[in-house]
Amino acid sequence: MRRTGPYHRQALVDAVRIVTGLDTTTEGIPVHGMLDPDILTLMLQSAGYADDQIRKVLPAIFTAAEDVYEAAVPELRDRCCPGVPPLLAELHERRIPVALVTGNLTRIGWRKLERAGLHHFFRFGAFGEMAATRGGLARLAIERARSEGLIDGDANISLIGDAPQDVRAAQENRIQSIAVRTGITPPGDLEACRPDYLLDDLTQLHMSII
């Protein structure tokens, strides 16, 4: 999705204020491709919090951010990137399991998909608070898919994303990387990561790639 409004960023800012009383901002933080816990950590560090203080307050901030976002986010069905709904529908029809790997906190990620009308296409998710890196999240998703019998050891696995972190996560896990230019990644940055496939948008994705 793109241009989903200020609701996610604002939820993080509001959550910090609710839990700590601090006025913080996401300005100056390159949030694209980052995990929510990392964004919140940088916000708190900028406000003068020490690492031990941050560790103590983050769980409560996670909950507050999820509460704020769930209550505030509007309908997002018109914010889907080109080709996304048809691709998910075709994968579902072919019974190809799909998991969400995102830096969003769990309830924020699911709520975003619900408001876009896409949540029912995803079997499960790996979310920002579950691992320290996006590569770690991808690894969790792969392990869960295998443990639930959704894929076997020889399955072709692809990670689709619009940020360099997505490409690196796929490479770390030795799975196929499919990068799309529908995000806000500067020109040339995705090429520099050398994804297996680089598309303008998902209307260009042929099922033979998957």
- Of 160, 163, 154, the C-alpha closest to 177 is 160
Query: Domain span at residue 13?
Result: 7-72
Same domain, 148 and 61: no
| Domain tally, the chain | 2
Q: What is the CA radius of gyration of the chain?
A: 17
Q: Is residue 1 part of a domain?
A: no
What is the pLDDT at residue 82? 96
Full pLDDT tens readout for the chain, 210 residues: 988 889 999 999 999 999 999 999 999 999 999 999 999 999 999 999 999 999 999 999 999 999 999 999 999 999 999 999 999 999 999 999 999 999 999 999 999 999 999 999 999 999 999 999 999 999 999 999 999 999 998 899 999 999 999 999 999 999 999 999 999 999 899 999 999 999 999 999 999 898
Same domain, 94 and 190: yes
Instruction: Find the CATH number of the domain harbouring 46.
Output: 1.10.150
Q: Coil, strand or helix: which one is 177?
A: strand
Same domain, 67 and 142: no
Same domain, 29 and 110: no
Q: Is 81 left (phi over 0), alpha (psi -120 to 50) or beta?
A: beta
Task: Answer yes or no: are the C-beta atoms of 65 and 36 closer than 8 Å.
Answer: yes
Same domain, 139 and 176: yes
